[in-house]
């Protein structure tokens, strides 16, 4: 298995990396609600641009898995902060796929369980968790040449990103997409349950006081409801090329 990019780790640096430091970096951000196709599109964009790809949702999901393992109350900021500072998260590319590890354990499948999705939505709203992840993400971003996928990449983490994208789709197509992804691994899942969970998570993500999900002012907003993946990618590449040249 080829290990490229992201092995970042251990103690967070003592000095905080400020957004201004991210200026002029060749960073592309892609934000938007769950199920709009962000991950698929981000991976293709990264490949076409020959950039690294960072799935920041996976980072928040790893926090949720480890909080659950350690029986941490999702509202206990102190315990969550200590947890985040101990995490050793890394991504490894495995063909088309990106695998995510924490302290050497492969959590790629574990982080996708519906229970973890819901827990991640709660723990990712906690200021202590957001501060720790933001810092790690900015540290990674200093290398440049990366596509960062998440909810607050263009608004908070990289306000000076070279190109910002925001991908949306209607709730029906987003839930159908997520249902198809999950139905093999989660036997008793129904489309209604996926849609209800998704609405709840949209609400959590959009109404949290810290870094709520919203489009950056200078983003290209793309609605994937009636577009193919290729059409979405081409629109975005066109925008990125204009922004970066």
With binding defined as CB under 6 A, does residue 175 bind ligand DC? no
Cα–Cα–Cα angle for 158, 159, 161, nearest 5°?
Answer: 65
State the sign of the Cα–Cα–Cα–Cα dihedral 101, 104, 105, 106: positive
Residues 61-80 that bind ligand DC (CB under 6 A): 61
Stretch that binds ligand DC, among 56-64, 161-169, 214-222, 233-241 (CB under 6 A): 56-64
102 binds ligand DC (CB under 6 A): no
Q: For residues 245 and 234, what is the distance between their CA atoms, to the nearest angstrom?
A: 16
Contact 62, 104 (CB under 8 A): no
d(CA 176, CA 191): 7
For ligand DC, the binding residue among 205, 216, 219, 220 (CB under 6 A) is: 205
Q: Is 42 in the site for ligand DC (CB under 6 A)?
A: no
Q: Nearest-CA neighbor of 44 among 240, 230, 221, 239?
A: 230
Do the Cβ atoms of 122 and 204 come closer than 8 Å?
Answer: yes
Q: Which residues make Cβ contacts (< 8 Å) with residue 2, sequence separation at least 6?
A: 92, 93, 94
224 binds ligand DC (CB under 6 A): no
- Report in angstroms how near the CB of residue 54 gets to ligand DC at its nearest: 10
* Stretch of residues binding ligand DC (CB under 6 A), selected from 54-62, 92-100, 167-175, 214-222: 54-62
**Minimum distance from residue 245 beta carbon to ligand DC (Å):** 27
Q: How far is the CB of 220 from ligand DC (least distance, A)?
A: 18
φ, ψ dihedrals at 231, nearest 5°:
-65, -40
Q: How many CB atoms lie within 10 A of CB 102?
A: 20
Does position 128 interact with ligand DC (CB under 6 A)? The reply is: no
For tokens 């090329």, what's the residue? 241
Q: Which is nearer to ligand DC, 65 or 120 (CB)?
A: 120
Q: How far from the centroid of its chain's Cα atoms is residue 202's Cα?
A: 14
Taking CB under 6 A as the criterion, the residue among 37, 150, 154, 216 binding ligand DC is: 150
Note whether 84 binds ligand DC by CB under 6 A.
Answer: no
Q: Any contact of residue 151 with ligand DC (CB under 6 A)?
A: yes
CB of 132 to ligand DC, least distance (A): 12
Write down the least CB distance from residue 195 to ligand DC, Å: 15
- Listed residue (129, 120, 134, 123) closest to 57, CA to CA: 120
Q: Does 57 bind ligand DC (CB under 6 A)?
A: yes
Binding-site residue total for ligand DC (CB under 6 A)? 14
* φ and ψ of 146, to 5 deg: -145, 150
Q: Which positions touch ligand DC (CB under 6 A)?
A: 34, 56-57, 60-61, 120-121, 124, 150-153, 201, 205
């Amino acid at each position: 298995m080829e290990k490229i990019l992201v092995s970042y780790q251990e103690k967070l640096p003592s000095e905080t990396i400020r957004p201004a430091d991210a200026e002029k970096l060749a960073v592309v951000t892609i934000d938007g609600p769950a199920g709009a196709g962000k991950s698929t599109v981000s991976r293709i964009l990264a490949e076409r641009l020959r950039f690294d790809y960072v799935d920041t949702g996976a980072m928040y999901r790893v926090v949720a898995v480890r909080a659950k393992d350690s029986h941490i109350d999702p509202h206990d900021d102190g315990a969550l902060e200590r947890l985040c500072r101990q995490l050793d998260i890394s991504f490894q590319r495995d063909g088309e796929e990106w695998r995510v590890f924490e302290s050497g354990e492969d959590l790629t499948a574990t982080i996708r369980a519906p229970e973890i999705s819901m827990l991640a939505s709660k723990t990712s709203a906690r200021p202590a968790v957001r501060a720790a992840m933001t810092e790690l993400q900015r540290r990674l971003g200093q290398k440049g040449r990366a596509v960062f996928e998440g909810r607050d990449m263009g608004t908070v983490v990289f306000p000076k990103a070279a190109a910002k994208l925001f991908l949306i789709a209607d709730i029906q197509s987003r839930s159908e997409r997520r249902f198809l992804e999950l139905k093999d691994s989660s036997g008793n899942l129904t489309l209604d349950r996926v849609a209800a969970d998704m609405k709840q998570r949209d609400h959590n993500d959009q109404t949290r006081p810290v870094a709520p999900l919203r489009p950056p002012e200078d983003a290209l907003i793309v609605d994937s409801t009636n577009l193919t993946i290729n059409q979405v990618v081409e629109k975005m590449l066109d925008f990125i090329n204009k922004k970066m040249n």
